Amino acid sequence: MPYGILYIFGNIPGLTGLCIAGVFSASLGSLSSAVNALSNITVEDFIKPFCISKNISDTWMTFIAKRLAVGYICLILLMALVASKFRGVLEATNIVVGMVGVPILGIYLLGMFTTTANEPGTLIGLLTGLGMYAWAGFGAYITKPSIATLPRSTAGCHIESNTEFFNISTEATTIESVTEAPHLIGVEENDICPIYKWSYMWLPLFSAVVTLIVGYLASCFL
């Protein structure tokens, strides 16, 4: 998005910074609400019930909540720095979030479409679906070959043109550069488990079906 704004409004002084500032302000508003909720929930549900002195004033609790908010912000910044070193952050996020949510969907389907579901069978189906999702998801994430990050510097690139950069109405720009092919680091394709080759978008369906089938069979025999 910042590049698109720069490309469209780059020749208008001040408008680029105004648009980018608006985007970041909107994201900071959502983030501040989340941090505020985290600090308040921590104080109300985890600190107040276990305080030795029940006569703690609201002023002191507000002080604790503010310090917790600062701590959560530091933790979020640390997580952002760590996430920048990962590959496939979106894939990892979907795996972690779906690992719990998708087996619960399988339990709902089990209750909707069968009449034999019971508590032991449902619990076995839930744990089996969760375990299969975690195994397939994290196994695929770990065993996928990673691509070495290429340098982003443009040093050594020769631009031969009689026109200005970004002027697309005149002669074409010729860029001569030599880059080596990225080098895959990881295991051979044939050594990977077939389930690990699936797209992470198929894992929710896989986990829900496993939860449904295992929960139904376990309910029939228990």
Q: Cα(103)–Cα(97) distance, rounded to whole angstroms?
A: 11
Every domain of the chain and the residues it spans: 1-85, 87-144+193-221
Which of the two residues, 24 and 182, has the higher pLDDT score?
24
Which of the two residues, 104 and 161, has the higher pLDDT score?
104
pLDDT tens, 173-205?
Answer: 444 444 444 444 444 556 677 888 888 788 888
- What pLDDT sits at residue 168? 46
pLDDT tens, 55-109?
Answer: 777 888 889 999 999 999 998 888 777 766 666 677 777 777 777 788 888 888 8
pLDDT tens, 129-153?
Answer: 888 888 888 887 777 665 666 777 7
**pLDDT for 161 beyond 60:** no
Measured in whole angstroms, the distance separating CA 162 from the mean position of its chain's CA atoms is 45
Which tokens is 40 given?
Answer: 């308040």
Q: What are phi and psi of 50, to 5 degrees?
A: -110, 10
Burial of residue 138 (CB within 10 Å: 0-12, 13-18, 19+) is middle
Q: Cα(34)–Cα(73) distance, rounded to whole angstroms?
A: 10
- What pLDDT sits at residue 160? 54
Is the full-model pTM beyond 0.75? no
